[in-house]
Amino acid sequence: MDFPKTTTCVCGRTAELRPKDVKTIYKDRYITVENVPVYLCEAYHQHVKLPRKVRAQVRKRLKLAYSKGYPFILYKSDNLGGK
């Protein structure tokens, strides 16, 4: 993964890159993408920030999960930067 390990959160604290399960509504369904690298802020881990590339990849995984009918899907970054 070529992201910096930390970033500055919107609240000014340091946010660390960590894997996290991200549960989200995609269209009409709840889908959890597992092991997404996100920045978590120290403020009770309430602040979550996704690098832009990760967000794009999460959307791809959600689309795939949705089309297959999966409630969970593992995050993968294998086709980052691909076409």
56 binds Zn ion, rule: CB under 5 A? no
Q: What residues contact residue 30 under an 8 Å CB cut-off, 6+ apart? A: 23, 24, 71
38 binds Zn ion, rule: CB under 5 A? no
49 binds Zn ion, rule: CB under 5 A? no
Is residue 27 within 8 A of residue 66, CB to CB? The reply is yes
Structure-token match 């009918």, residue found:
69
User: Which residue of 1, 3, 6, 11 would you call a contact of Zn ion, by CB under 5 A?
Assistant: 11
60 binds Zn ion, rule: CB under 5 A? no
Decide whether 47 or 63 has the Cβ nearer to Zn ion. 47
